[in-house]
Amino acid sequence: MTARPESWYAQPAEKWPDPKLKGHSIPGYRYHSKEFFHQEWENMWTKVWLLLGREDEIPEPGDYQQEEVGPESILMVRQQDMSIKAFYNVCQHRGARLVFNELGTVDAFTCPYHGWRWEIDGSLTFALDPEDFPEGDPCGKLTLNEIACDTFAGFIWVNMDPDCVSLKEFLGPIWDDWSDYEIHTWKRYLALTATVPCNWKVVLDNFNESYHLPTVHPQVDGVVEENYQWTQFDMSEEGHNRMWMQSGTPSHSLAKRGEELLKPGLAFMLEQWGLNPDDFRGGREFETREALQKAMRVKGKEMGYTQFDNLKDHQLTDTYHYTLFPNFAVSVWADGFHFLRARPHPTDPGQCLFDNWWYAPAPEGLTTPVMTINGPVERDAEVEHEVFNYLDRSLSNLIDQDMGITTGQQLGFRSRAYKGVYLAKQEHRIRRYHELIDEYIEGKRPAPKRSSAIAAE
Ligand code: FES
Ligand SMILES: [Fe+2]
């Protein structure tokens, strides 16, 4: 195997604790059983912090964002004091949905059915014919049903459990890992949401391993070290997973197969940062990563990437792929963020809502396009959120490759022949996820150290 320069080893990421696994066999019913779907909803989805909104979508008091998760619709509303409150999007008179659009601005929410007026803080200030209610005027008595809400990395997170742990406690090591990237300032440059015919866990299973890369995405090994022996896999106590893949480098898999090391993707990356690919051919191919880090330090400053000053050298080039329990996977780079989320379908365990989004910094004056998974997007572009059914349009080449597999796997999980998994160690993050889901179902989570986010306010 071709040798790496010594400096390559210089900055290992700190290991996470890797909790002991029990050896779950992950049988197929977990992906299609209505009963299991119901158990998950009652005991896991409604007890866990969910990334649901984005702060910059609702900058002013009265701005709201409405997002769906399973059978629920949640309203996130900017308050007069600039804090954000989250409510179930359901009128407390007779259950009408208050709004249906994703984003909007209101003085107050007026229910479309009988006109009750709910203020942005959830209080009721108008009900028609208040004297006609035998139990008394509902104003001052009823409020919208509020749930815990907090923010991190510019995202709005909600939790339907009134007795939940704090978001910081829930996120564990993610909090520190992400702080230096300044993700809260980044903008969305791709927003594709598709209803996909597979259970949400099939999607997360897929993003919880890189074992499929050589087969499903053969194109990536020119710029990412996809060989598992050179990759660090981590599992946190809180249930989140991390995979550290060195990037800006040829993969050792290429070397193993005796293929050309400096592929066009890597050459493009080098040129992007002002380096000449020809300087690295003929034995210096594994020096590209370090050279890129040096070039990025200098050029990043010129581009206005202030976050580069906070980041360690390896964070400049490398791919940190996280899966945040339960439904959010993300690849984080120094200059971009691939957002992958699967939300449960309201009623059908065999479908999910899949978000394939991209965030990147937008420093003032920077005009170079953002390179998203779906191609370049102008830095000042107004990006439309596109919602569609699977196969109505492409989700990008790479994600189409993934979904082609996950939708077929959903069919396989219904087969009598599927008896459960036979996992490689590099796939153990999948097992961890399933064991954690079971812990929620058995009522063992959240962790005993509770500090109710609502009570703390
Ligand atoms: S259901 Fe909302 S006012 Fe009647
Ligand atoms: Fe994939």
Tokens of 287: 């020096």
pLDDT at site 15: 87
What is the average pLDDT value for the chain, to the nearest integer?
93
Ligand 1 pocket: which of 89, 90, 91, 145 to mutate (most atoms <8 Å of CB)? 91
Report the pLDDT averaged over residues 163-192: 95
Which of 93, 118, 129, when mutated, tests ligand 1's pocket best, judged by the most ligand atoms within 8 Å of its CB?
A: 93
186-200: average pLDDT: 98
Q: Tell me, in angstroms, the distance from the centre of ligand 1 to residue 158's CA.
A: 25
The tokens for 341 are 């989320």
Segment 404-408 mean pLDDT: 98
CA separation for the pair 355, 53 (Å, rounded): 12
Which ligand neighbours the alpha carbon of 216 most closely? 2
Closest atom of ligand 1 relative to the 114 alpha carbon: 3
pLDDT, tens digit, 9 for 90 and up, residues 126-149: 999 999 999 999 999 999 999 999
Atom of ligand 1 nearest to the CA of 96: 1
Q: Rounded mean pLDDT of 159-177?
A: 95
Instruction: Decide: 401 and 216 in contact? Cβ < 8 Å.
Output: yes
Q: Kindly tell me if the per-residue pLDDT of 453 is higher than 60.
A: no
In testing the pocket of ligand 1, which one of 116, 126, 137 has its CB within 8 Å of the most ligand atoms? 116
Q: What residues have their beta carbon closer than 5 A to ion ligand 2? A: 402
pLDDT tens readout for residues 251-269: 888 888 899 999 999 999 9
* Plot region of 452 (φ>0 → left; ψ -120 to 50 → alpha; else → beta): beta
pLDDT digits 0-9 by tens, 34-89 = 999 999 999 999 999 999 999 999 999 999 999 999 999 999 999 999 999 999 99
What's the alpha-carbon Rg for the chain, to the nearest Å? 24
- Ligand nearest, relative to CA of residue 110: 1
Whether the predicted pLDDT of 279 surpasses 70: yes
The pLDDT of residue 411 is 97
Residues having CB closer than 6 A to ligand 1 are 91, 93-94, 96, 111, 113-114, 116
d(CA 71, CA 100) in angstroms, rounded, equals 14
Nearest CA to ligand 1 atom 4: 114
- The residue nearest atom 3 of ligand 1, judged by CA position, is 114
Tell me the pTM: 0.93
Q: pLDDT tens digits, residue range 408-430?
A: 999 999 999 999 999 999 999 99
Shortest-distance atom of ligand 1 to CA 128: 3
- Please tell me the distance between residue 160's alpha carbon and the centre of ligand 1 in angstroms: 22
Q: What percent of the chain has pLDDT over 90?
A: 87
Residue 4 has pLDDT above 70, yes or no: no
Q: In 10 A of CB 63, how many CB atoms?
A: 17
pLDDT at 7 over 60: no
**80 residue type, one letter:** Q
Q: Pick the ligand that lies closest to the CA of residue 243.
A: 2
Mean pLDDT calculated for residue range 380-396: 96
Kindly list the structural domains of the chain, giving each domain's residue range(s) and its CATH number in brackets, ordered by start. 6-40+168-441 (3.90.380.10), 49-160 (2.102.10.10)
**What distance, in Å, lies between the first and last C-alpha atoms of the chain?**
57
Q: Does residue 450 carry a pLDDT above 50?
A: no
Gap from CA of 211 to ligand 2 centroid (Å): 9
pLDDT number for residue 9: 46
